[in-house]
Amino acid sequence: MKHALRNSLLPVVTYVGPLTANVITGSVVIERIFGIPGLGKHFVSSVMNRDYTLIMGLALFYGLLLMMARLLTDIAYVVVDPRMKLVSGKVKL
């Protein structure tokens, strides 16, 4: 179990990282279709009203969320499999 779990978690972590990005950006569409109040609704209304400062601010916020999801995915790689480490700019297995 110990050896199989470590190797089987790597594809799961690889899939969950981009999946969080899809969930975050997909919420904009869901909020608009179903009328759920949230940042997605504000983002779409700011596009319709040409409120450029709010558009840039929300785009920056979504970008930071996506970068944090990717960073946490990379950190999870090392936690799941300690054999993966960065040596002089290259990933060493």
| For the chain, percent of residues with pLDDT exceeding 70 | 90
Q: Which of 5, 34, 53, 18 is nearest to 43 (CA)?
A: 53
The answer to whether 17 and 73 are in contact (CB under 8 A) is: yes
**Residue 29: C-alpha distances to residues 8, 14, 60, 80 (Å):** 33, 24, 18, 33
For residue range 9-31, what is the model confidence (pLDDT) as tens digits?
888 888 888 888 778 777 777 88
For residue range 50-86, what is the model confidence (pLDDT) as tens digits?
989 988 988 898 888 888 888 888 888 888 877 776 6
- Position 80 scores a pLDDT of 81
| For the chain, percent of residues with pLDDT exceeding 90 | 3
Instruction: Name residue 49's beta-bridge partners.
Output: none
Question: What is the pTM assigned to this prediction?
Answer: 0.69
- Position 90 scores a pLDDT of 64
The answer to whether residue 48 scores a pLDDT higher than 80 is yes
